[in-house]
Structures are given as C-alpha cells and as structure tokens.
Amino acid sequence: MAGSVVAVKKAAAVARTPPENRTIIDKLWDAHAITTREDGTSLLWIDRHLLHEGSFHAFDQLAKRGAGVAHPELTFGIADHYAPTRGRDGSVANPEIARMLDQLSANTARHGLRLIGLRDPRQGIVHVAIPEQGLTLPGLTVVCGDSHTSTHGAFGAFAFGIGASEVAHVLMTQTLWQKRPHRMRIVVDGPLGPGITAKDVALTIIARIGADGAQGCAIEYAGSAVRALSMEGRMTLCNLSIESGGRLGLVAPDETTFAWLRGRPFAPQGAAFDAAAEDWRELASDPDAAFDREASFSGVEIAPTVTWGVSPEHAAPIDATVPDPARIADEGRAQAVRDALAYMDLRAGMRLDEIRIDRVFIGSCTNSRIEDLRAAAAVLAGRKAAAPGLVSPGSSAVKRQAEEEGLDRIFREAGLEWVESGCSMCVGMNGDIVPAGERCASTTNRNFKGRQGPGSRTHLMSPAMVAAAAVTGRLTDARALLAGREVVG
C-alpha cells in the first residue's frame, strides 16, 4: 500500500534548501519525510488523522481489503457535516442523516478509534472542536478528508485536506505520499483598521491573488497584522487558504499560540508543555529563507469585504460597486462575471450596499468561534434583525461559553435562531438550507452556485458584517452600526 520505493534516500539529503536557511514549511516537511522517491515525492508521517461522516468511502476500502488501522490512537472521529442542529436529545428523524451518523459510529467502533459523537459535550465542527481539545499542536502533520483542514495551520501545524483513497492509506499506514508543495509567503503588515477582521483580510487576499493564486502552494502567513491576530483570527485566515488554491496555510507558533493551547485536554501538561513550547519556538522561517512566491498587503488598506459572485475571489470592499463585465478586457473573465451576475441576479454597477438579503447565517469552521459570535452580538445587541437567520456555534463548547456570556439572548432577542453546533447551513447536508432563489449573508467560506442549497445565493463576509446585514436587510458596512459600541476584532 505504501507504494514501491524506487530509490530510497535520506530526506535531508534531497532537501532543496540548506538546513540553516529553511522556511517553516521546509522544517515541517523535513521532520516528517520518512523517505523520498527519485521523483521528489515523499512518504510523510502523519501525526493526527481526523475523520467526519464523509470517511465511509475509506472504511469501505478497508473492508474490501480486510485491512485494519495501523495507529488507532492517532485517529479521531467527529460528527459534524450531518449533525442536526435542533432536537438533538431525541432520535434523528431523517433516516438518511441517521444512517450517515450511525455509519461513522460503527466504523470508528469497529476499528477502536475515538469518536466525538453527536451528543458528546466536545462535539463540534472538526476544525473548531479538535483544536479546542488541544489535539492540533505546533509542528504536527494533521490530515482530514476535508478541504478546510488548512484551518489547523493556525497553530504552526502542517495541515491539509486529503481524498478518500488517501484517507484509507493513512488509516492503513499512518503515512501518505505527497509532492513537496511550492512555498508561498503572504505578508500582511501594519495595523488593521477598527472593525476589520481576519475574514476581511482573507477575502482581500483571495480577491487580489485569485482563486488559483496559491495553486499547489503551502502558504506561510506573516507580518505584523498576522502576528496581532488572535488564534481565532488565525484559524479564519488559514481556513480560507484553500479558496485561493493553496494546499495549506500556516502561521508560525508564538506566545499567542502557546497561551491558547496551555491546559487544553490533549496538549502536554505542566512542565511538559513548557518543554514543548521551547521546541515550538524553533518553528519559524529562518531570516534568509527563500520562498517560491511572495505577496504582500498593507493592513490599513483592508476594508470590510463582501463577495458579490460565485467564487470567493469575487470579493470587493463594501463601498465598491458590482463589476461591469463590459469593462473587463479579458473575455474569459468578463464571461465569468456575466455568468456570476446572472446567477446572483445582480446588476453591473450597482452599489454593494444596495444588495438586499433574505436570510443570514452565522456559523461554519470559518467564523463560528467565540470571538466571531461576540463580534456579531456587538452589532446585534438591542437591535432587531430585518431578515431571518440561523446562528450555529462551531462547537458545543463555544455554545456553552456563548450562553454563559448571554450572547444567545442577544441573537434570540434580535429574532435569529440559536441552534446546536455543526456544519449546518454552510453546506446544508444536515437539512439546514437556504431556499432556492434566496440571498444569504453568510460567515462561511464558499459561495459556489447552490452551496447553501439548490438555487441559493451566498454573500460571504465577516460575522460583524452578517450581523449588520441582518439589521438593515441589505449588505452594510458594520462599522456604521458599531460606532460608539465596543469593537471586537
């Protein structure tokens, strides 16, 4: 299964850069490459393997081969994509959804894998709940059959999404053959303006470099604006790496990382944590390390950003207008914009803040952590939503904390629904969908056609911006509603 090794060389011997001049990406790669083929493909050791309901394909492959799991202690299952967000105490009414959840339970039980199931107090979206448990640590390789696994890079982990046959390969061997990614550095320097969040930074990056701007790259996010982000913000930023084509995105670990991780159940405890943190401090790109690609951004120039089209790259500042395809020279791009405007039912040249919305969604592995909910609540407090919507915290722990802080009351009093945690309306697999033809302001990461339900229309933005859209019923600069209130960045 591991493939035949044509020529076995020590990974260090084929590293492209001298050891004293390596990026954090090289360091993580070299530390995990067991062997490297002549074609440059390396067999990587995998430290953490995460599974959700979509893993059944891989378990079917194991069953066909009569294979077992090599390192059951390194794999963790969690129920999220199909998790019902209401009525969790009773049995799951929808038989198809119940089957998906049962399958995950049965497959993990059969192989002796730990499962964070639907009613587990640690349940949540894999990319929210697993870091909360301290399972994602600096320096680890983390994989999951899910594209937004890049989220875990926020901790300085080498974390990437894999396909079903790769999931089977990891289950059987705890290793994976991978091509060494190109290295890209994205620097965001300077302070971010008041009310500007990691989501605005990420959408600005994608709008500039494009949905394929980081194709095949591992991205290191650097610069003073990135350093100043909380772990929640870094997770949002790394989460969206995949939407610019990146294989993964990461931030070198620092004191912010260590403070967030200390005391988490699966993190090293006490003196062992301090010793680990000493090692983790080495996980930074060397000063002269070379990247294959670079892009830089000025933090102060980043505005509240929303998408108008059907790709995350179709994003613009809230005070901009919908682009006019007639003014785009490149015919391919012009056609893509025409197509997007037709699907989104928008007029070229109209102001983005004139776009009326029918519904809002606050949730998903991009923006459903406690800071995200606080930011949305800061806008909604004492106000009524003009549009209906759903708030789904990213994990049961986030839900409990939000309730302790009274955020749930703010959402409910505004007229929004406060539900259990899961992927929910981000992808609609659990039945939470945006009805056909409706337009949703959403904190999620994908605005593809029909993403939130067949015929649904999605505008991506930050939690504060979704909250502002809920209040006015149209896309709105949240800063106007935050004036005089505490701004949660």
Ligand X SMILES: CC(C)[C@H](C(=O)O)[C@@H](O)C(=O)O
**Which residue(s) pair with 417 in the sheet?**
390
Given the DSSP bridges, would you call strands 217-222 and 248-250 parallel, antiparallel or unpaired? Answer: parallel
Stretch in the footprint of ligand SF4 (CB under 6 A) among 62-70, 316-324, 383-391, 423-431: 423-431
- The answer to whether 318 touches 475, Cβ cutoff 8 Å, is yes
Question: Which option in ligand X, ligand SF4, none does residue 54 bind, with CB closer than 5 to 8 A by kind?
Answer: ligand X
Side-chain-side CA neighbours of 215 within 13 Å: the count stands at: 4
CA angle 227, 395, 56 (to 5 degrees): 105
Q: Shortest Cβ distance from residue 127 to ligand SF4 (Å)?
A: 6
List the one residue from 364, 447, 462, 476 that touches ligand SF4 (CB under 6 A): 364
- Binding to ligand SF4 by CB under 6 A, coded x per residue (else -) over 44-83, reads ------------------------------------xx--
Instruction: Report the length, in residues, of the chain.
Output: 489
Return the residue of 100, 248, 340, 423 that touches ligand SF4, per CB under 6 A: 423
Taking the least distance from each CB to ligand X, the nearer of 147 and 401 is: 147
217 among annotated binding-site residues: no
- Least Å distance between CB 214 and ligand SF4? 17
- Is 245 near ligand X (CB under 6 A)? no
Say if CB 45 and CB 52 are below 8 A apart: no
Question: Quick one: 81 or 199, whose CB is closer to ligand X?
Answer: 81
Work out how close the CB of 427 gets to ligand X at its nearest, in angstroms, rounded to a whole number: 5
Residue 315 or 482: which CB sits closer to ligand X?
315
How far separated are the first and last CA of the chain, in Å rounded? 47
Which strand (E) or helix (H) includes residue 166? helix 164-173
Is residue 123 close enough to count as binding ligand SF4 by CB under 6 A?
no
Tokens 């060494």 sit on residue: 180
Residue 17 in tokens: 């850069």
Nearer of residues 59 and 82 to ligand SF4, judged by Cβ: 82
Copy the structure tokens of residue 259.
């403070």
- The Cα–Cα gap between 338 and 322 comes to 11
For the bound state, the minimum distance from the C-beta of residue 35 to ligand SF4, rounded and expressed in Å, comes to 32
Quick one: DSSP state of residue 210?
A: -
Q: Is 427 in the site for ligand X (CB under 6 A)?
A: yes
Minimum distance between the CB of residue 369 and ligand SF4, rounded to whole angstroms? 12
State yes or no: 144 annotated in a binding site.
no
Q: Quick one: which segment of 14-22, 107-115, 146-154, 464-472 binds ligand X (CB under 6 A)? A: 146-154
Pairwise CA distance, residues 383 & 451, whole Å: 29
Alpha carbons 402 and 370: distance in angstroms, whole number = 7
Choice between 178 and 367, CB closer to ligand SF4: 367
Cβ-based nearer residue to ligand X, 37 or 199 = 199
Alpha helices in 174-297 (DSSP H): 198-209, 224-227, 231-239, 255-261, 270-280
Q: Does 167 bind ligand SF4 (CB under 6 A)?
A: no
Task: Count residues near ligand X (CB under 6 A).
Answer: 7
Instruction: Classify each residue of 10-24 as buried b or exposed e, where b means 16 or more C-beta atoms within 10 Å of its C-beta.
Output: ebeebbebeeeebbb
> Which residues of the shown chain bind ligand X in the complex (CB under 6 A)?
54, 81, 146-148, 161, 427
> Which residues of the shown chain bind ligand SF4 in the complex (CB under 6 A)?
80-81, 125, 127, 146, 148, 364-365, 423, 426-427, 444-445
Annotated binding site for [4Fe-4S] cluster: 365, 423, 426
